[in-house]
Amino acid sequence: MRTILFLWMINLVTLAANGQENNYVTAMQKTIAALDYASGQQDYINCGIQFERIAVAEKTRWMPYYYAAYSIIIPSFDEPDGERKDLLLDRAQEMLDEALKLAPDESELYVLQAFLYPSRIMVDPMVRGMEYIEKCFSALEKAKALNPDNPRAYFLEAMNKLNMPASFGGGPEVAKPIFLMADEKFRAFQNEDPLWPGWGEDANRTELEKLN
């Protein structure tokens, strides 16, 4: 009888865990879909708020914090007011820091950190340029060291090189081989997690078409 009761309890715990996992995946997929169709700053911020709610409920998972930060960084690039841009980025950094606490060796988080820095530069390029471009490339090197096959690390490196003056080691001729490398890695990249970040491939292909 004790054996039967024990097995019954194990089954209940397993069912509860599976139900919780399914709820998490469903909530994330729904919000990621909303993020894909976001078209304005408020849409993105609303997605960020929803991802943060998921993160608070799922305290041990880094990915909701990742997407919360990503949802805020995207509209920050189009924010014309420097003070408001910094406020958005401060909030995105808070979300990213929480993710880094949970997964300090995750390559994708350092790519996202590198994605945040150029928006900081835009507030005051003359004052912030050198500081944050160095931080950006440092974060990308960390991302590549943790996962040499992460295509987003090479895509962002290529974008930064493309937008740098030739006198500083940038320009189309420098960027193109890195875009090509990113394209190869995007084509080869595989991850079975349905929630894994997938951004960058289309943009990388678009930049290559322009350069060709």
Q: Which residues contact 87 (CB under 8 A, 6 or more apart)?
A: none
Q: Are residues 48 and 24 in contact, defined by beta-carbon separation less than 8 angstroms?
A: no
The string of pLDDT tens digits covering residues 17-29 is 445 678 999 999 9
> Could you count the other beta carbons within 10 Å of the beta carbon of residue 158?
24
Q: Work out the mean pLDDT of the chain and round it to a whole number.
A: 91
Q: Per-domain residue ranges for the chain?
A: 1-105
Count other C-beta atoms under 10 Å from residue 123's C-beta: 18
Query: Confidence class of residue 16 from pLDDT cuts 50, 70 and 90?
Result: very low
**In the predicted model, is pLDDT for residue 36 greater than 60?**
yes
**Residue 5 pLDDT exceeds 50:** no
pLDDT at 1: 54
Dig out the tokens for 177 from the structure: 């081989």
